[in-house]
Amino acid sequence: MIKNFMLTFILLTSAVFAKEVQTVFSYSTPPYVFKDGSGIVIDIITESLKSQKHTVKPVFVNISRSFEMFKYGYVDATTIIKKNSGLEAYYSEYFMQYHNAAFALKSNKYKIKELIDLKDLYFISFQNATKYLGNKFEKIALESGNKYSEEPNQKKQVYKLLKGRTDIAILDRHIFKFYKNELISEGKVDKNIQVELFELFEPTKYRTAFKDRTIRDDFNFGLKKLKASGRYDEIYDHYSSKYFKVEK
DSSP state string for the chain:
-HHHHHHHHHHHHHHHH--EEEEEEESSBTTTB-TTS-SHHHHHHHHHHHTTT-EEEEEEE-HHHHHHHHHTTS-SEEEEE-GGG---SEE----EEE-EEEEEEGGG-----SGGGGTTS-EEEETTHHHHS-HHHHHHHHHTGGGEEEES-HHHHHHHHHTTSSSEEEEEHHHHHHHHHHHHHTTSS-TT--EEEE--S--EEEEEEES-HHHHHHHHHHHHHHHHHTHHHHHHHHHHHHTS----
Choose one of 198, 214, 230: the last residue of a domain: 198
Instruction: Output the domain CATH number for residue 142.
Output: 3.40.190.10
- Residue 81 and residue 163 in one domain: no
| pLDDT of 123 above 80 | yes
- With cut-offs at 50, 70 and 90, classify the pLDDT of residue 1: low
For residue 13, the model assigns a pLDDT of: 43
- With cut-offs at 50, 70 and 90, classify the pLDDT of residue 241: confident
| pLDDT of 186 above 90 | yes
pLDDT digits (tens, 9 = 90+) for 4-56: 544 444 444 444 478 999 999 988 799 999 988 999 999 999 999 999 999 99
For residue 218, the model assigns a pLDDT of: 97
- Residue 58 and residue 90 in one domain: yes
For residue 126, the model assigns a pLDDT of: 93
